[in-house]
Structure 1
Amino acid sequence: MTTIAPESSTVKRALSAHAAIGLLAGALLYIVSLSGTLAVFYQEFQRIEQPRAPEMASIDPQAVQRGIEAVLAREKGKPLATHLYVHLPVEGLPRTVITTDTQAVHIDRTGKIAGKEEIAWSDFLAQLHYMLNIPGLFGFILVGILGVMMLTLSLSGVIAHPRIFRDAFRLRARDKGGLGLADWHNRMSVWTLPFILAISLTGALIGTADLTAYGIGATGYKGDMEAVYASIFGPEGKPDTKAAPAPNIAAALDYMAAHYPGRRLTYVTLHDPLTAGQHVQIVGTFERRLVFGEYYNFDAAGRVIGRAGISDGPAGRQMAASNYNLHFGNFGGLPVKMAYFILGMALTAICATGTYIWLGKRERRGIGAPRIRAAWDAVVWGAPLILALAFVLRKTLGNDLPLVAIFWGGLAAILVGAWFFAAPGQIAKLLKRALVLACGLGSALALAGF
């Protein structure tokens, strides 16, 4: 009996393709981890990016009403907005911002429009983490899949190293054999394991939420996606496109102040503005709760309709409403954010060192890959460098820069340079120095309030 074995060249190409796919997934996982760690300070970055926007600890309901009416007046002659959002001042971001489909503006404490919201870099950073800047549903799903991958790697890493907990504080000296790096990788993985499991699980759930909703809608709701989301967030209401005046949102805010004085209000959402079907949702947050808040519903006259029941509804609904805060550390104020940042940096380092360990093992077996190592250096040090340079460019050249193209184009240029032109070890040194300079310049611009 004869066997037919594939040619050695075919095997080599298959192994190369396998390695390339693994490196691509590792690079995307690293970028998601890095951007997510920085996005913990999304509110703080907004204040740094636009330091002269008006700030206030709270705002009067009548001022909010005036601001909404002023923004809606600017919408005349444009297609009707589907939603209008009011970000109310909170501790981390004490600003009032009104957003529609076509504009986003700050208002001052009197309700007067104070200028455009200009936070292009902060929004770019958040979108990089949410969807890798890929538009549509695919980006969210891809990031969700990366969350599943991170969860799998964490659990399989623990299973593959039965001594990992017993050796939790054992660190061998740094050496050429790579044992020191492997020890740091394993130790950080153990120390941060609860955090990694929570982040990867919630990230996977957030990223694949729409895909899961489509599956639930197809099997349990006869394809009615609105019914799926209504089961968690409450119904949208029946549309009625006949023209109508601006709603009385001040009355709704007054009702919340009178009946829920302990709630910290964060958002007002106006659905189908300036139509007879418009209605209002107000989000009120809870102390010492992970749920992002409760939706309180009002009609256009400001009369209460009811609430969604997120905060005290079925356990599954409360869990779904807790994913976002648990994932981003939006609870407990600045101390929790600092803890998330430190743990997130450790997770980012784990993502980086895993590939370095793999490359080191290949080199010890005589399979040198200087170009792959240079390319990985380009990812590890080039991604934060381009983020820092993009921030500098945004602060110096304005809010309308194509930051997505700058980041991905810049990173691609660094990768090409590393692959074809960099000597072994050279690209990492150059990028580290450039990163220090870029971070220093960005910090100087931020401190100067530029």
Structure 2
Amino acid sequence: MRFPTADLVRRALSGHAAIGLLAGGLLYLICLSGTIVVLREEIQRWEQPNVAETATISPAALQTAARDVLASEAGKKPTEHFYIRLPNGALPRAVVTTDNQAVYIDESGAVADKEAHGWTEFLINLHVYLHVPGTLGLTIVGALGVMMAALTLGGVLAHPRIFRDAFRLRARGQKQLALADWHNRLGVWTLPFGLALALTGAMIGLGGVGFYAMAAKWYGGDVEKAYAPIFGGEPAHAEGKASLARIDRAMANLTAAHPGIEPSYVILHEPGTRGQYLTILAKHPRRLIYGETYAFDAAGNPTHKVGLSDGPIGRQFAASTYDLHFGSFGGWPVRLAYVLLGAAVTVICGTGMSIWLVKRRQRGRASPRLEAMWAATVWGAPLLMLAALALRAVTGAEAPMVALFWSGLALLIGAGILLPRAEAWARGLRLALGAAMVAAGLGHLAIMTSGIGPLYLIDLALVAGGAGFLWPTVRQLRLTRPAELAPAE
């Protein structure tokens, strides 16, 4: 018996199209933002390019930072969790975050600047939550991850020759064939990557729903207790003031006991109380886990570790999904590969809907309004991301970027319904996007006072990418102008 059968192929293709129509636009936004978010540390540096940087910071400086930052919050709501993000290769800046503020600190532990990377957070929240708050946003994105996995597998079943034709590309032929070839070839080349992204994204998004369900069933609604068997719990709160916990001793004890690991976060729980304690998250080399959690008492003495690095296999697996999804392992080669593969998956999402629309037109059932709406989404979304960046540059990190993005996208889609000319919309928005990218790159270069190499690369990529979008139109104008100026015979 032949596999897949003709009936299975037909049903798979129908299901593939149905899921794509249902989720195509949102999946495009998630893939587009996710591709950018792979470089979130570099983008955070790029957004605030002139902040002082340091490759390392001493335990004594961390203690100084904790003392001074907490002292500056006298009279405010007491901080329950005090975080220090330690500098690393991707983001060589130390960041202190409390319940009231977030600041950069220099190598001595003194406050250097306010952390104000609102645009970076805007992009991250678009990818992780679609800007829908809390568990609901995670659930929606997780469900879209399931749909993406179904699209990936369904696409393979719907095209029996997809592997045989992996290197056959008719990029200059009929529009439908060209789009289909790009869609299918990129789908084959990115198949393991796309499936891994979809499954890990679904796990991260829907995992929260599972923990809430377990909390309701077995833990009296206490979500923290549901998370504790995997990620560790917190001891009972103890009232009363106490001297600040010894971060410096905890760091010294950790590095002495485990010299090969890389501490990434210091978390002081209930600072300045009798129940305070410390946890330090540390990366383990050549491991996919996001880190191991080491706990210390207020005096800086080690008490236990959670076991993300050597505990039950399920716990290690859960701790590995994050870095696998975001490409936070293996250094620059892996991050660059994730950007390229993520861009390819974004193109797959964009061309999928376009193929369906072209097929409808060829069958005499053209949908000009849907075509214009899709053009507005594909080219309008990245343009509005840059519009949000411009708003942030003018009004500050607290600018209403989310409102601008979604209202702008709604207006563009609405305009596409009123003026259903997809080609004109695509051309105009593509030109605007190219101009905005060039302006963003050149504008950022103008305000840079630091000599941070990766930031110049981002500027160069913006200018080059923008020029790439502008060039076809410029070339067409150059070709048509001589013909218009030629004398009539």
- Under a length normalisation based on structure 1, what TM-score does the superposition of the two structures give? 0.93
How much has 1:223 moved relative to structure 2?
A: 4.5
Q: Distance in 2 between matches of 1:325 and 1:429?
A: 37
Q: Distance in 2 between matches of 1:351 and 1:424?
A: 18
Report Cα offsets for 1:27-47 as digits up to 9, x if no partner. 111000000000000000011
Report Cα offsets for 1:194-221 as digits up to 9, x if no partner. 0001100000001111101123334455
Paired residue secondary structure (1:54) = coil
2:280 alignment counterpart? 282
Q: CA distance change for structure 1 residues 55 and 236 in 2, over 3 Å: closer, same or farther? A: same
Q: Distance in 2 between matches of 1:95 and 1:56?
A: 6
Report Cα offsets for 1:233-283 as digits up to 9, x if no partner. 112111113222321111101111211111111001111222221111101
Residue in structure 1 matching 2:260, options 256, 262, 281: 262
Paired residue secondary structure (1:178) = helix
Q: Distance in 1 between matches of 2:218 and 2:160?
A: 42
Amino acid at match of 1:388: L
Aligned length: 432
Question: Structure 1 residue 48 and structure 2 residue 46: aligned?
Answer: yes
Matches within 5 A, 1:109-124: 109-124=107-122
Range that drifts further, 131-140 or 411-420 = 411-420
Q: Distance in 1 between matches of 2:374 and 2:203?
A: 29
Matches within 5 A, 1:29-48: 29-48=27-46
Q: Distance in 2 between matches of 1:217 and 1:232?
A: 13
How much has 1:437 moved relative to structure 2?
A: 0.7
1:158 alignment counterpart? 156
Q: Distance in 2 between matches of 1:51 and 1:177?
A: 43
Q: Distance in 2 between matches of 1:165 and 1:146?
A: 25
How much has 1:366 moved relative to structure 2?
A: 1.3
Matches within 5 A, 1:57-68: 57-68=55-66
Amino acid at match of 2:398: D
Q: Is the 8 A contact 2:416 2:422 kept in 1?
A: no
How much has 1:222 moved relative to structure 2?
A: 5.6
Q: Distance in 2 between matches of 1:422 and 1:371?
A: 5
Q: Distance in 2 between matches of 1:350 and 1:92?
A: 29
Q: CA distance change for structure 1 residues 448 and 334 in 2, over 3 Å: closer, same or farther? A: farther
Q: Distance in 1 between matches of 2:206 and 2:139?
A: 5
Q: Is the 8 A contact 1:244 1:275 kept in 2?
A: yes
Q: Distance in 1 between matches of 2:90 and 2:320?
A: 19
1:370 alignment counterpart? 368
Q: Distance in 2 between matches of 1:211 and 1:160?
A: 31
How much has 1:149 moved relative to structure 2?
A: 0.4
1:12 alignment counterpart? none
2:441 alignment counterpart? 443
Matches within 5 A, 1:182-197: 182-197=180-195
Residue in structure 2 matching 1:323, options 321, 324, 328: 321
Q: Distance in 1 between matches of 2:153 and 2:314?
A: 24
How much has 1:22 moved relative to structure 2?
A: 6.0
Identity among equivalent pairs (%) = 50
Report Cα offsets for 1:313-364 as digits up to 9, x if no partner. 1111001000110001001111111100000000000001110111111112
How much has 1:157 moved relative to structure 2?
A: 0.8
2:230 alignment counterpart? 232
How much has 1:448 moved relative to structure 2?
A: 2.9
2:248 alignment counterpart? 250
- Under a length normalisation based on structure 2, what TM-score does the superposition of the two structures give? 0.85
Question: Structure 1 residue 314 and structure 2 residue 312: aligned?
Answer: yes
Q: CA distance change for structure 1 residues 378 and 424 in 2, over 3 Å: closer, same or farther? A: closer
Matches within 5 A, 1:371-386: 371-386=369-384
Aligned-residue Cα RMSD (Å) equals 1.7
Q: Distance in 2 between matches of 1:159 and 1:50?
A: 47
Q: Is the 8 A contact 1:371 1:419 kept in 2?
A: yes
Q: CA distance change for structure 1 residues 267 and 177 in 2, over 3 Å: closer, same or farther? A: closer
Report Cα offsets for 1:24-75 as digits up to 9, x if no partner. 6211110000000000000000111111212111001111111111111122
Q: Is the 8 A contact 2:19 2:147 kept in 1?
A: no
Paired residue secondary structure (1:111) = coil
Q: Is the 8 A contact 2:119 2:401 kept in 1?
A: yes
Residue in structure 2 matching 1:352, options 350, 353, 368: 350
Report Cα offsets for 1:113-147 as digits up to 9, x if no partner. 11210101001110110101111210011000000
Paired residue secondary structure (2:293) = strand
Residue in structure 2 matching 1:139, options 137, 140, 146: 137
2:300 alignment counterpart? 302
How much has 1:177 moved relative to structure 2?
A: 5.6
Paired residue secondary structure (1:205) = helix
2:406 alignment counterpart? 408
Query: Any gaps of 5 or more consecutive residues in structure 2?
Result: 1-16, 449-489
How much has 1:20 moved relative to structure 2?
A: 11
Query: Any gaps of 5 or more consecutive residues in structure 1?
Result: 1-18
How much has 1:410 moved relative to structure 2?
A: 1.4
Question: Structure 1 residue 419 and structure 2 residue 404: aligned?
Answer: no
Q: Is the 8 A contact 1:329 1:336 kept in 2?
A: yes
Q: CA distance change for structure 1 residues 400 and 20 in 2, over 3 Å: closer, same or farther? A: farther
2:430 alignment counterpart? 432
